[in-house]
Structure 1
Amino acid sequence: MQLPRLPQGVPRYVLNTGIAIFVLSLVLWSINALNIASIGSLRGRLTQPLHLDEHKDGEHNKGQLPSKLDATTDRRCHAVPNPPDVAVIVKTGANVLYDKVPLQLLSAWRCAEDPLIFSDLATTLGSYQVYDVLDNVTEAVKNSPDFDYYRKLQDYKKNGQDVRELRNEGEAGWKLDKYKFIPMLKKTWTMRPNHDWYVFLEGDTYAFWTNMLLWLQQFDPNGLYYLGEQTYVNNEGFAHGGSGFIISRGAMAKVLDDDPDITIRYDSIAQSEYYGDYVLMKALKEKGVELGLYKPMLQGEPPSSLRYGPGRYHEERYWCQPLISLHHVTPLDVDTVWQFEQHREDLSKPILFADMYQHFMAAHLPEGSDELEDWYNYSDDVHIRGPDEEDEDRPIPPEEMTPTQEQAYLSAEHCAAACAEYSRCMQYTYESSEQKCSYSFSYRFGEKRPPKSDGKRYKSGWIRSKIEKDIEENPCQSVVWKGFHTA
């Protein structure tokens, strides 16, 4: 190839020198880029979730950081050897689908294979199909006023309207929700037959995947198991739907096989009931499937309001049990808990309440102070108000009312002193406009509560010496895989 002719008067050695400088600069830039890439790779390994590499010898790589981060890998998905076969079923509402479900699919439910998503409106969510769980409800039931909201949803979809505009119709959505449970059970058994376990969640339920698998390994899926956090109506216990509940293959077969009319029968029953999860319990109990008592492992609380340590009742303790679920989680909660799971060194070990306390509460308590202004820490086990106020739930027994307790309502300082004196009080909240002092027998973190226009304002505090003493006296010698019973 012929070189281009140089401009007249420019010596060729100038061109050669320029080429040499360019080549040298290119070499130096490449070395520097490699160094930057190496530093960037190290920084990424230190700050991003790690992943498991199935194709490498685990013992050989033990203690080493992976050289590559794979955004499609969740460390939890392969943490439990020989896991049970779990089907995940999500029940949600069309008006909150896009607020709650997408991040869950990207994080908490990432290990679930082909999860079923049921709603009150058929639609799609990216590559996921969202099924109308109520499409086969009988016309006789659909003609009831409870289905006015359902018909409105269908109209919104037909006319291309945004169903999120219907978020404020909470009562209407709640009335409709009670009809979803039995059809959901039936459709699940038809669409996902013969899995070991069926895990039913709501759009704002976080599932601890490793904990759940480790727990379910301890049961025979052919048994009649219905697992959940018990709540009560008419003194009958049933699994709280928002906390999630789990049904074994054996129980699904027992309830649904040879009973083609179960949905029709219970659609009619649901009309006279208020809670769909209560109706579900009735259908299971009819076939001899009873609720197992596993409070507090399945939780109706988000991280901010979780109890730690002693409970409201003497027989309760929230400490050495693994957490299976959380409820009312925000997208921020979902991401924060998922990141916590990803960064654990050994994912084959269960996450206990004690672990959650250290990460989500102990590490965030105020430094240099035992109290926070404009903060509500969910102290609600005992309430003390002025002598002229009406009696309220959960007062201190009269025989335990010392002069200090009697004055607890006067100020935040009086409330703190009374809590310190009261043996079971771990923390307190004082509400100034109502002159109300409240205790908690557990330790809970809480949330920011700015002052209200009506004058309501909170101040919260923790008796750290009591908390530290309680933790010291109750170490977790082993994992507690059982719950307790409270009415």
Structure 2
Amino acid sequence: MGPQRYWLPPALRRRRIAAARVLLTLFVLAGLGAGLFLAMLPHDATFRLWLNMRNREAFWTPKPHELKWLSRPAAYPINWKDDVGIVVKSGFGTQHRIPAWLEAVREVGDVVLIADYATKAGEHYSKHGRELPVHDVVGAMFEQGVFSVADLEHPRAQQYKNMSEAITRGDESAMQMAKDIGWGLDAMKFVSGLELAYKQMPNKKWYLLVDDDTYIVQDSMTLLLERLNSRKRYYIGNPVGGWALMFGHGGSSIVMSNAAVHRLYSPAFNHLITQTNHESLDETWGDRLLAKAFIGVGIYLDQAYSVLFNGERPRISWIRADRFCAPVVSFHGHSNPEDMRETGNTFRNLRKVIRWIDIWDITGAPDLATFRTSPQRRNWDHIGRLDERVTTSTDLKSADECHAACKAMRGPNWPKGKCLAWTWDDKEGKCFQSPWMIVGSQAEGRISGLNEERVSELAAACNPIP
């Protein structure tokens, strides 16, 4: 006999089918209800921001260090002169950086210089025969009536007024005022400055917002932009802050697609821009305020490319395991114009994609292989600035022990080793062990080196850039 089939009475079968249909209908209605609920939530609602965070952490979301985007074809070619608009943010107190920035950059088309003062006829800058005036985007907001009568009495508004009057008089006190209040005025330039740039360059595929001490590695940036469709809404940068308000660090450069900027400044959101400019009187960080504006139109910081952005100068850039082989698109912190010129002279004419580990060789650091035979560098430091991620040991007795401790550092999250560089302070008897390494500089009384086995392993794993 063959297997017996389970027989249901027709009435019972119909009831089960009807019940299944009801459950399916309820499931569909619940899904539609949830979707409608989310659609009705404001873009800056806590629940929506929490969902964005959970989605970034989910297993299906590619992680920045995986560099999966590199496998995409360069489907969207760009020409820097025609397709990329650069917004350089400066100020009266830092205007001495502008000439060095213009010298360091290789090739640009349209550049908009924004600040808290304006150059006069005959004082404008130039690049490749193009005249580049400095636009006072802070003063423009007062002239255009963005602020109310009450706003004009705000301390920051009064400070700007006093500085502007001193500039007009040619008073030397203007420079000291700019240094004292420049940070506060800087927060007022992001949204207003980007708006001016968009009005002047409405058809650019991409907009880069940079500080006057930020250097863009153009071939690395090209590698990224040619794999992204500028008709999609992209707001990309070096993430700072928490899940409730993650924003792109302005100094590391902020990348925005035409579609994103077009939406931000569309007439439908004029009220949002007005409100954001009003809030700039009290905001500390303008890059955070820009992120709030983007969130207000439903555009959130894309963190998929975060490992490309850098907030330091080349010799003190943190080369970490999660970005060892990744391209690097920016350097920051060139407060001294000569530092900017040096970076430009070093990288401008290389004509290739620069990875984080490439910084090591390009800046003249010792070959990684030499650390196997000569693991200690006297009067040097390969760690740099210390923070909570650096392990400090006071129970070790020598540079040899410090080196050994770095190589032995393991953990559940670092099965292959957490420490990449170590520094022994002979005077203080302290051993510093860091999850990054820098090219570094001379440091009297210190001995420094690398976890040469781990570093060599990371370097060997780097695949050629397509």
C-alpha contact 2:90 2:115 (8 A) present in aligned 1: yes
Q: Distance in 1 between matches of 2:222 and 2:365?
A: 27
Q: Distance in 2 between matches of 1:353 and 1:328?
A: 17
> What do the CA deviations read for 1:292-314 (whole angstroms, capped 9, x no partner)?
1122212111101223251xxxx
C-alpha contact 1:227 1:246 (8 A) present in aligned 2: yes
Q: Secondary structure in 2 aligned to 1:291? A: coil
Map 1:238-253; keep pairs closer than 5 Å.
Answer: 238-253=247-262
Shift of the 305–198 alpha-carbon distance from structure 1 to 2, 3 Å rule, reads same
C-alpha contact 2:167 2:174 (8 A) present in aligned 1: no
Pick the aligned partner of 1:462 from 450, 453, 458.
Answer: 450
Q: Secondary structure in 2 aligned to 1:116? A: strand
Q: Distance in 1 between matches of 2:404 and 2:174?
A: 48
Correspondence for 1:331? 337
Q: Distance in 1 between matches of 2:457 and 2:229?
A: 40
Correspondence for 1:417? 404
TM-score (norm 2): 0.69
C-alpha contact 2:92 2:178 (8 A) present in aligned 1: no
1:288 shift after superposition:
1.1
Shift of the 254–165 alpha-carbon distance from structure 1 to 2, 3 Å rule, reads closer
Pick the aligned partner of 1:439 from 405, 413, 433.
Answer: 433
1:439 shift after superposition:
0.9
1:214 shift after superposition:
3.0
1:325 shift after superposition:
1.0
Unaligned stretches of 5+ in structure 1? 1-79, 311-316, 383-392, 451-456, 480-487
Correspondence for 1:390? none
Pick the aligned partner of 1:130 from 107, 130, 134.
Answer: 134
Q: Distance in 2 between matches of 1:289 and 1:234?
A: 14
1:202 and 2:211 correspond: yes
Q: Secondary structure in 1 aligned to 2:312? A: coil
1:142 shift after superposition:
4.0
Pick the aligned partner of 2:354 from 338, 351, 356.
Answer: 351
Q: Secondary structure in 1 aligned to 2:331? A: strand
Q: Distance in 2 between matches of 1:200 and 1:122?
A: 18
Q: Distance in 2 between matches of 1:141 and 1:364?
A: 58
> What do the CA deviations read for 1:338-364 (whole angstroms, capped 9, x no partner)?
3334553xx2x4222232222125348
C-alpha contact 1:222 1:248 (8 A) present in aligned 2: yes
Q: Secondary structure in 2 aligned to 1:131? A: strand
1:476 shift after superposition:
1.6
Shift of the 192–319 alpha-carbon distance from structure 1 to 2, 3 Å rule, reads same
Q: How many residues align?
A: 363
Q: Distance in 1 between matches of 2:210 and 2:78?
A: 24
Shift of the 168–217 alpha-carbon distance from structure 1 to 2, 3 Å rule, reads same
Q: Distance in 2 between matches of 1:203 and 1:285?
A: 26
1:105 and 2:102 correspond: yes
Give every structure 1 segment of 4 or more consecutive aligned residues whose post-TM-superposition deviation is greater than 6 Å: 364-368
When the two chains are superposed, the root-mean-square deviation of aligned CA atoms in Å is 3.0
Q: Secondary structure in 1 aligned to 2:433? A: strand
Counterpart of 2:125, as a letter, is G
1:433 shift after superposition:
5.5
Correspondence for 2:311? 300
Q: Distance in 2 between matches of 1:462 and 1:361?
A: 16
Q: Distance in 1 between matches of 2:274 and 2:287?
A: 17
Q: Distance in 1 between matches of 2:465 and 2:215?
A: 24
Q: Secondary structure in 1 aligned to 2:383? A: coil
C-alpha contact 1:226 1:292 (8 A) present in aligned 2: yes
Map 1:28-427; keep pairs closer than 5 Å.
Answer: 85-98=83-96, 100-108=97-105, 110-123=106-119, 124-127=123-126, 128-135=132-139, 136-137=141-142, 138=147, 140-162=150-172, 165-166=175-176, 169-170=179-180, 172-233=181-242, 235-258=244-267, 259-293=269-303, 294-310=305-321, 317-329=322-334, 330-344=336-350, 347=351, 349-360=352-363, 362-363=365-366, 369-378=374-383, 393-394=388-389, 407-408=395-396, 410-422=397-409, 423-427=417-421
Q: Secondary structure in 1 aligned to 2:188? A: coil
C-alpha contact 2:93 2:178 (8 A) present in aligned 1: no
Q: Give the fraction of aligned pairs with identical amino acids, expressed as a percent.
A: 25
Q: Distance in 1 between matches of 2:338 and 2:189?
A: 28
Q: Distance in 1 between matches of 2:347 and 2:178?
A: 34
Unaligned stretches of 5+ in structure 2? 1-76, 127-131, 410-416
1:235 shift after superposition:
4.4
Pick the aligned partner of 2:463 from 476, 479, 484.
Answer: 476
1:181 shift after superposition:
1.3
Larger Rg belongs to: 1
Q: Secondary structure in 2 aligned to 1:289? A: coil
Q: Secondary structure in 2 aligned to 1:115? A: strand
C-alpha contact 2:83 2:204 (8 A) present in aligned 1: yes
* Greater percentage in helix: 2
1:185 shift after superposition:
2.0
Q: Distance in 2 between matches of 1:89 and 1:462?
A: 39
Correspondence for 1:11? none
Shift of the 162–372 alpha-carbon distance from structure 1 to 2, 3 Å rule, reads farther
